[in-house]
Copies of this chain bind each other. A is one copy, B any other.
Amino acid sequence: MPQEPLGVALIGTGFMGKCHAMAWRNVATAFGGPPPRLELLIDTPEEKAAEMAAQFGFARGTSDWEAAVADPAVDVVSITTPNAFHRPMAEAALKAGKHVWLEKPMSLTLKDAEEMAALAAACPGQVTLMGYNYTRSPAFQAAVKLVAEGAIGTPWAFRGVYDEDFCANPELPWSWRMTHEGGGLGVLGDMGCHLVSQILPLMGEITEVTALIDTVVRERPSPDGPKAVENEDNALALLRFASGAQGSFATSRAAWGRKCRLQWEVHGSQGSLVFDQEHMNELWVFRKGEAGFTRHLSGPDQPDFGAFCPAPGHNFGFNEMKVVEAREFCRAIAGGAPCGPDFAEGLKIERIIHAMAASLGRPVAV
């Protein structure tokens, strides 16, 4: 962990902005180490930035993100803005010598992501981290450990989905997020990348994808009449892994009733693992010879749980995954081991989701 407190700038105060704020406020409380200095909160307009800075306990609020990311009191920048801002903000922060913690996906286009990764590679002393928080839950970390230790033998098949229903209602109005220019990819960029971020640590490299995408609600109401939805609501894919394993992948933002169903299973030669983020405190394990799946409730026997609570079955929460991620970021800055998807690893995830978007039912190497 860092020896000196890190100076933090946080851009954005919405869903993930608040989540980052709570994480920065409690990373030291949970894990020890010097509590960060919460220097700058960025939002627009200026008054909102000031108000949210007071609420989140940041020293200053501002609407000038360019000045903020270059501020000498700032060591690290958390970026939680809409996707179109990811590239300019991350690049400005890197060029200003800062460490960057960026919500997924990296950018609107694959080319953007490639250039961001190239810039990060050119800043070797600066840490980048992508916000793939679902890889931080104790249950997921335990799953990765079980696979790595051979608890289920050789993984030979994967099945995974990530479904929500926030776009299931055909009456949901059109927005610029549903365009290529405004939002980039659809569900693949918003949700599919999360699933990929879990597949890679569990299964290793993906070498080929074959995918179908679909926009199930093709037009949505707007004040100017119906407008076309450009990016995909659903995506399905077949996967080949470098290991020889095969897998299936599906994601939808229009699956009525699903709220955060990031569900997957790994079938190995000696057992199986099953997980569903809607029950994020349960990991189901089957080992050859056992009578059935064991429901393993999260507890201090899984990574990082004990920093929050010593008692098993006392539910770990969504926001606490972000506290773990903050700790990983701090640890990497202090020279610790690699800590999850940096921009180079993040680019791999981008290549996979963009390959899916481009596949049109044909196999594509990645």
**Which residues of chain A have a CB within 8 Å of any CB of chain B?**
14-15, 18-19, 21-22, 25-26, 28-30, 32-35, 54-57, 152, 156-157, 159, 161, 163-164, 166, 168-170, 208, 210-212, 214, 216-217, 234, 236-238, 240, 246-248, 250, 252, 254-261, 265, 267-272, 274, 277-281, 285-288, 290-297, 299, 301, 308-320, 361-363
A296 cross-chain contacts in B, Cβ below 8 A: 291-292
A269 cross-chain contacts in B, Cβ below 8 A: 168, 170, 216-217
Q: Evaluate contact between A234 and B214: CB separation under 8 angstroms.
A: no
- Which residue of chain B is the closest to A32 with respect to CB atoms? B55
Give bound CA distance, A157 to B234, whole Å: 8
- Which residue of chain B is the closest to A247 with respect to CB atoms? B236
Knowing A156-B214, A248-B236, say if A164 contacts B313 (CB, 8 Å). Answer: yes
Please give me the 3 A-B residue pairs with the lowest Cβ-Cβ distance, nearest first: A317-B317, A259-B313, A257-B286
Least CB distance, A3 to chain B, in whole angstroms:
13
Least CB distance, A169 to chain B, in whole angstroms:
7
A214 interface neighbour in B246, B286, B287, B294, Cβ under 8 Å? B246
A270 cross-chain contacts in B, Cβ below 8 A: 256
Q: Evaluate contact between A293 and B159: CB separation under 8 angstroms.
A: no
A237 cross-chain contacts in B, Cβ below 8 A: 238
Give bound CA distance, A237 to B311, whole Å: 26
Give bound CA distance, A19 to B26, whole Å: 11
Least CB distance, A233 to chain B, in whole angstroms:
8
A25 interface neighbour in B25, B255, B278, B294, Cβ under 8 Å? B25
Q: Evaluate contact between B309 and A319: CB separation under 8 angstroms.
A: yes
- Which residue of chain B is the closest to A360 with respect to CB atoms? B363
26 contacts across the A-B interface (CB closer than 8 A) = A29-B55, A34-B54, A35-B54, A35-B55, A152-B256, A156-B254, A210-B210, A210-B238, A212-B238, A236-B248, A255-B272, A256-B287, A257-B274, A257-B290, A278-B281, A280-B315, A291-B294, A291-B301, A292-B296, A293-B295, A294-B294, A295-B295, A315-B316, A316-B317, A317-B319, A317-B320
